[in-house]
Amino acid sequence: MTARKTQPPKAVKAKTPLAKKGAAKKVVKSKSEPSITALPLNTILLGECIELMRGLPDGCLDAVFADPPYFLQLGGELHRPDHSLVDACDDEWDKFSDFAEYDTFTYDWLKEAKRLLKPDGALWVIGSYHNIFRVGAILQNLGFWILNDIIWCKTNPMPNFRGKRFTNAHETLIWAAKSQTAKPCFNYEAMKNMNDEKQMRSDWNLPICSGHERRRDDAGEKLHPTQKPESLLYRVITSSTKVGDVILDPFFGSGTTGAVAKKLGRNFIGLERDPRYAKYAKKRIAEIPAAPQPEFLLTNAKRDEPRVPFGAVLERGLLNAGDTLFDERHRHRARVKSDATLISSIATTGEEVRGSIHKVGASVQGLPACNGWTFWCFEAEGGKLIPIDLLRQKIRAETVGPVL
């Protein structure tokens, strides 16, 4: 297969030194992880994405978000029932002579994306039924490991004006790790928090971009036919990257990835072949205020919290030897010993049990395991039962500062 021949337009003028003409090619390839300062961060590089990617060093990216040409193969104009013309994407950049050419193009940019990702980096690609199955097969052939396919259910899809098919109301995002053994970032707690304490599912109900969010050029015309909603990128970036990470978008368009990356304190590198889109994307991102301090952007993942042993609760005098603990329904009680173990008895048999808060909690319930921190409560003023986990949180707050 041969790569599609397209002439790169002139290089973009950008503020960072490495984003100057030909700069992407100047970045030295290195086997160790490249220095982040050597990258054209928060810059849009103008040109053909595959060539520009070839100028970046191995393993320099934490994530790639790609919204590539879908190869829509539109057959003629589409009109609404009132005969007005539907502004569908019929741009040159979405045209390929056939599937073979599209597949070659897809293979080439995905191969570069894989080279650029760090070992634990991950890739997102969005597409529709026109292209996503081809993209999925090619990325699997390249050794990417699919983590999820996300269905973006459009809450306000465009109707099927011809009435010949179902309304096409969704797009698919593939989220894939660089390899099967990679450990990609997934901010589980952040997603759960954002979903009212329920696990975030793989079907995302979000509206398409409209109203104020839709970018317009200086003449007030719609800037880009396929501008993605910021809400979609917000979820992608929040779920799978960390503050300060570097995210590449090889098909930058109106700059949605850059806008949301800036808002969330991540770095972006945008690649775009159309100078007009690059110009407006740059303007759009400049209008976004700087991200707040990291404490407002970080989620305290439970596994990252400092370990607090039950003994620390006694050492700090928050509980004392001889105190009584209860379960929240007052069915079980245990006495605290000075060595941070508990003594209790099994209600049905009267058998004595001793051990850690977890072991005794499990034994009195006849369960194989128990989280003693959330099972056992102390009696506060007025007889109110409060889980001892609150005491652990108090100690953590003293150690690492309050959780905002």
Ligand X SMILES: C[S@@+](CC[C@H](N)C(=O)[O-])C[C@H]1O[C@@H](n2cnc3c(N)ncnc32)[C@H](O)[C@@H]1O
Segment interacting with ligand X, rule: CB under 6 A, options 21-29, 184-192, 235-243, 251-259: 251-259
Does residue 120 touch ligand X according to CB under 6 A? no
The H or E element spanning position 150 is strand 145-154
Q: Let me know the angle formed at the C-alpha of 229 by 225 and 231, rounded to the nearest 5 degrees.
A: 175
Does residue 372 touch ligand X according to CB under 6 A? no
**Lookup: tokens for 106:** 């897809």
Does residue 172 touch ligand X according to CB under 6 A? no
Our CB check for ligand X shows the closer of 62 and 94 to be: 94
**Lookup: tokens for 311:** 């003994």
Query: Could you say which DSSP state residue 93 is in?
Result: G
Q: Cα(149)–Cα(249) distance, rounded to whole angstroms? A: 19
> Residue 326 phi/psi, 5° resolution?
-130, 160
Residue with the CB atom nearest ligand X in the bound state:
253
The distance of closest approach from Cβ of residue 226 to ligand X in the complex, given in angstroms and rounded to an integer, is 4
The distance of closest approach from Cβ of residue 165 to ligand X in the complex, given in angstroms and rounded to an integer, is 22
Q: Cα(265)–Cα(246) distance, rounded to whole angstroms? A: 10
Beta-bridge partners for 169: none
Q: Of residues 34-53, which lie at the interface with ligand X (CB under 6 A)?
A: 48-49
Number of residues that bind ligand X (CB under 6 A): 18
Residue from the set 114, 118, 178, 224 that interacts with ligand X by CB under 6 A: 224
Q: Cα(205)–Cα(224) distance, rounded to whole angstroms? A: 22
Segment interacting with ligand X, rule: CB under 6 A, options 35-43, 76-84, 247-255, 364-372: 247-255
Q: Cα(354)–Cα(279) distance, rounded to whole angstroms? A: 70
Instruction: Show the beta-strand stretches assigned E in 140-294.
Output: 145-154, 170-177, 203-206, 246-249, 267-272
Our CB check for ligand X shows the closer of 107 and 373 to be: 107
Site string for ligand X, 268-287 (x = CB under 6 A): ---xxxx--x----------
Q: In what order do the strands lie in the sheet with 385-387?
A: 352-355, 342-345, 333-336, 324-327, 376-379, 385-387
Does residue 262 touch ligand X according to CB under 6 A? no
The distance of closest approach from Cβ of residue 67 to ligand X in the complex, given in angstroms and rounded to an integer, is 3
The distance of closest approach from Cβ of residue 70 to ligand X in the complex, given in angstroms and rounded to an integer, is 7
Footprint on this chain of ligand X (rule: CB under 6 A): 48-49, 67, 69, 93, 224, 226-228, 251, 253-254, 256, 271-274, 277
